[in-house]
Structure formats: C-alpha cells, structure tokens
Amino acid sequence: MKNITIIGTGYVGLVTGVGLSEFGNKVICADIDNDKILKLKAGEIPIYEPGLDEIIKRNVQNNRLLFTSDISSSIKNSEVIIIAVGTPQSDSGEADMQYVYSVVNEIKENLNGYKVICTKSTVPIGTGKKITNILKNNFKENSDFNYVSNPEFLREGSAVKDFLWPDRIIIGTSSLIAYEVMCDVYRPLYINKSPINHTSVETAEMIKYASNSFLALKISYINEIANLCELVGADVHDVAIAMGKDGRISEKFLHPGPGFGGSCFPKDLESLSSISDEHGVQMDTLTAAITANKKQKKQMCNKLENLVTSGLKDKEIAVLGLSFKANTDDVRESSSIDMINFILSKGGYVRAYDPIANNSMSNLFPNISYFQNVYEAVDKAQALIVMTEWNEFRSLDLNRIRKIMSGKFILDTRNILNMKELSSLGFVYDNIGRLKI
C-alpha cells in the first residue's frame, strides 16, 4: 500500500484517485477548488460516471480515500504525487500547460523527502523533461524525486471499468526505483498479469497522443465511408461488420455518427498536430481527420435541412441527446452544439432532452427548452433528431411518437432506430450510410 496524493479532482483525477484507493492504497484527492472539495466530502459527485459514487462511498468509509484543499500537506504526507489537472486547448491549438506548471511549482516547494512525481494529465511530448528540470532547480536539502509519465486511457461512460480492468498500463520513467514503486501502486493488476509496459518518458507521452489520434482517425474514416455508401447504394452497417471481422482492423470505433467530440479526441488531435508542426513534420492524416470531423458535423445539419424540405424557420425541432456520447454528462465539443446552433440560425426552436446532460448544455444554451423525458420533448415537434446513442433511444415507442408529433421527420445520426418500423409508420427519415427500407 502506498500513500498517494492526486492533485486535481476533475474527471481523470477523481476516477484515478478512486481506482487507486480501490486497489488498497491510501489516497488523498486534492484540489484548490474548496467548494468542489466540500461537495465531495458531502458525497456530491461533480461528474456523472456509472459506478463511481458507490466506489467513492466504500473507500471513504474504509478511510482509504480523503478529499482536501490543503495541497501542501498532502504533498508532504505522500510517497507518490500524481498530477491530474486539465490541459485545455489554447487558441493556437497547443495544450495550455499553466495548471500543470502551477502544480509542479507547488510540489517543488513541498518536497520533504524522496517522492515519485507522476503525470496523468495529457501533456505534450517533452513535458516530462521540463518538469524534471523545474524540480531540480532550487533543489532543497533532504529532498529527492523521480519522474514518471503514466498516461490515462479512460473512456467517459466506462471509466471505472477501464481503470479497474485496463488493456494496458504505461509507466514511462528512466528510474527503476520509480518503476517498481508504480508497479506496487498497481499491484492488483500486476499480480493478475495485466500488461504493464515500461517505456521512456517521451515514449509514454507519445503513446497517449498516438492512441487517441488513431481512434479519431478511425471514426473519421468510417464516417466518410458512410457518406460514400449513401451515394453508391451500399450499406455502411454491413460494410463495418465485414471490416471488423478482419483482425487487423477490429470492429471497435467503426460506428458512423455525427462526428466525435468530448474532452480528448478533438483536443489531442489539435495538440499532436501542433507538436508535429513545431518539429517540422507534416502529418496529413491528422489534418484530414480534423477536417473530416468538422465536415461531418456540418453534414448532419445539411441532412436535417434537406429532410425538412419546407425549411426550419419557426419549426419546433426535438433534439434527443446532448452529451457527446452516452453514459456521460459531458457536452464538450458535442455534435449537438453544432446542431442546436444551426437550428437556431435558421429560425427554428429547439426542444432538448438528455437523460443526464440537460444541466450541462443549459450552461451553453440557457434559452432553449429542456424537457425531463423523450415524449415531452417530441410533443408537437415538427422534426426529431437522435444525436446521442443512449439506450433509452434505442427502444423509443415510435407509434406513440408518430401520434404526438405534429410533423413526420426523423434524423437518426446514430443508426439506432428501426428503419422498417419508421417506414411502416409513415415517417420521412434519414440516417448515416444505411440503405433505406
């Protein structure tokens, strides 16, 4: 068991802290946001993540998980310090590193013995070297450290599962001592022979960017294939199934949709592109994926406009799904943002519903109408758009919807509605790359 401090209680920091406490470590989750810490102490979870609240409650009760805004004491009382603050995208496309370096300076001031300093935040390649140099400057007597890059691979909506049963753990460090410490931190996984990869710091930093960018490329590719399928008379559903049976390709991330969003893929693509430009390396595939994703979001808007031939002006449009994906309340870079903006720009009215993300989206669009269930949202609507693949949208009562909608237009950007039923009920519908029935 190790004494660990996680600095930053956002998505990555909170899930990491909870997961490491579940492994038997004693974990302090620290944050300068005192209001957030008070809410966490009171049992209020700032993010929606299935299963997270239960594990927090169990480890708090077992005194393995603590929350504090006293970062200095947390650093002094821990053997492992994990940096898990945000690195948002700057206007230039680079990662904004101000929060990371603020934490590094706080660590420097509170080193009081040997510690492993670990970064989980997604940071540009070369950051580890910069952090090490900062910590070495003005070095204090009786203090020592080793640095580790330990990138996260958490999918929003299944982050707890991803942390407790990971595909791989990347430990990037030049120190054998630090590597052994981190193996001890992840001991339950190590014992069960989960793949733990020991790499250099720079390699670990690159693995994170390379992984996310590849997945984004895959999504953009299948979206473009879907768009072509519509024009040549092919069905992307069958195409993707056949492609996925090839072990070299695999079936994952071959699901066409309205374009990817969230806090990782768009930001990491832009950041890696910025890093490649900085080193004079032209990465055309990254640029293409970024462009294709922007086009895909516009394509959904064009589909809606082409579907509702009488125009969107003064029309009530039901938008089902606001989060960028199911099982999260995260609306960052969500395709629904583009769709809502488009509807409003055309003089339409939005009737929005999401099982979890209504409040999150209301911060961006306070003046549209939000509803507490699907059928309230679609009542009297002229058109309906499915933007997020929530399970409850897969089993909509289409017969009921046909009766309460004033229009008959449906755009299914996730290909989850039954086309045969849509046709039999007289809906005028469209989706992504499917052969219409």
Half-sphere exposure of 253 (CA within 13 A, CB side): 17
Closest to 270 measured CA to CA, from 288, 253, 281, 286: 286
Phi, psi of 433 (to 5 degrees): 75, 15
List b or e across 318-332, with b for residues whose CB sees 16 or more CB atoms inside 10 angstroms: bbbbbbbbbbbbbbb
Give the span between the Cα atoms of 372 and 375, in whole angstroms: 9
Q: Any catalytic annotation for residue 264? A: yes
Residue type, 434: R
- How many beta carbons lie within 10 A of that of residue 193, not counting itself? 7
Q: Is the dihedral of CA 392, 393, 399, 403 positive or negative?
A: positive
Active-site residue among 29, 118, 229, 264?
A: 264
- How many beta carbons lie within 10 A of that of residue 127, not counting itself? 23
Lookup: tokens for 390: 């929530």
Residue whose structure tokens are 């580790």: 148
Give the span between the Cα atoms of 311 and 248, in whole angstroms: 45
Give the span between the Cα atoms of 353 and 373, in whole angstroms: 6
Kindly report the length of the chain: 437
Give the span between the Cα atoms of 297 and 373, in whole angstroms: 25
* Angstrom distances, CA of residue 12 to CA of 92, 93, 153, 256: 24, 21, 9, 27
Residue type, 186: Y
SS (H, E, C) 329-340: CCCCCCHHHHHH
Residues annotated catalytic, as ranges: 264
